[in-house]
């Protein structure tokens, strides 16, 4: 009985916290510009949907585009690394530099040189997202069964046959693992870059911009509502990439 309730535990805790929060705000009479009750946030979600939903779409669009760009760049660079140790030794430190430099610090520069806001935000999000794909795919390509590599050599396989029929399929589970980490990072990158961009975002106004804007107007319930959407987007991306892995690798894979 208790074991069957286990998956519901996080939901129960969430509901308890929301109920406590709602009660606290009601009993203390806290005004919504200090701390809005959950019901007030829900109301804002609904009433401001005309502003928040397009913003959600913009953020998701940037995240998805950044994830695709990061995947292409990461896999491409990983393939280059595996072909030549010299290329890896020459370029890998720069990939690490890109990874360890906070995107908030890079974003203002990117915004100067990439004038179109959509592309600027995409660039920032892709920089944050690309390292896990690169690192995991490189590791996967290198982890190819040495016996199978010998077998390919024995039967005279060419370089592209080795890559297409052996190394890439071997690296696929590693790549998908990296992609799941990158999915979350792309969203973080997109949001953080938009914060850094501030009012320059213009037409490409995502959720982060709406949070900033609502903050300036002391519209705290809308800030919370936008935050809820960011969190939901993150969960949706995580679940979608998990499902993608299961479909590609088959059900028996973890």
Please report, as ranges, the residues that interact with other proteins according to CB under 8 A: 145, 147-148, 150-157, 161, 165-166, 169, 172, 250, 252
Residue with smaller CB distance to other proteins, 33 or 165: 165
Residue located via tokens 């779409």: 57
Residue with smaller CB distance to other proteins, 116 or 145: 145
CB of 148 to other proteins, least distance (A): 6
- Beta strands (DSSP E) in the chain are none
User: Inter-axis angle of helices 168-197 and 117-142, to 10 degrees?
Assistant: 150
Nearest residue to 115 (alpha-carbon basis) of 231, 197, 221, 21: 197
CB of 178 to other proteins, least distance (A): 18
CB of 168 to other proteins, least distance (A): 10
Give Cβ neighbours of residue 72 (< 8 Å, ≥ 6 apart).
none
CB of 156 to other proteins, least distance (A): 7
CB of 145 to other proteins, least distance (A): 6
Residue with smaller CB distance to other proteins, 29 or 250: 250
Identify whether the C-beta of residue 136 lies closer than 8 Å to the C-beta of residue 175.
yes
Residue with smaller CB distance to other proteins, 90 or 161: 161
Kindly tell me the burial class for residue 142, based on how many C-beta atoms sit within 10 Å of its own C-beta (0-12, 13-18, 19 or more).
Answer: middle
Nearest residue to 133 (alpha-carbon basis) of 218, 76, 187: 76
């Amino acid at each position: 009985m208790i074991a069957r309730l286990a998956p519901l535990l996080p939901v129960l805790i969430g509901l308890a916290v929301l109920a406590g929060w709602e009660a606290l705000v009601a009993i203390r009479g806290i005004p919504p510009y200090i701390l809005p009750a959950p019901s007030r946030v829900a109301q804002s979600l609904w009433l401001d949907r005309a502003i928040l939903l397009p913003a959600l779409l913009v953020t998701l669009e940037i995240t998805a585009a950044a994830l695709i760009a990061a995947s292409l760049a990461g896999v491409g660079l990983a393939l280059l690394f595996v072909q030549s140790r010299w290329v890896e030794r020459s370029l890998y430190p720069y990939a690490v530099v890109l990874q360890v430099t906070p995107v908030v610090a890079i974003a203002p520069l990117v915004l100067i040189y990439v004038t179109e806001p959509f592309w600027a935000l995409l660039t920032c999000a892709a920089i944050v997202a690309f390292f896990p794909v690169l690192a995991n795919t490189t590791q996967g390509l290198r982890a190819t069964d040495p016996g199978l590599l010998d077998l390919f050599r024995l039967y005279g396989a060419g370089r592209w046959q080795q890559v297409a029929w052996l190394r890439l399929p071997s690296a696929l589970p590693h790549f998908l693992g990296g992609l799941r980490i990158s999915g979350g990072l792309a969203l973080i990158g997109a949001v953080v870059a938009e914060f850094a961009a501030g009012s320059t975002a213009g037409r490409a106004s995502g959720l982060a911009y709406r949070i900033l804007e609502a903050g300036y107007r002391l519209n705290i319930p809308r800030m919370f509502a936008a935050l809820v959407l960011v969190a939901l987007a993150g969960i949706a991306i995580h679940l979608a990439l998990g499902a993608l892995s299961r479909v590609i690798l088959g059900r028996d894979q973890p």
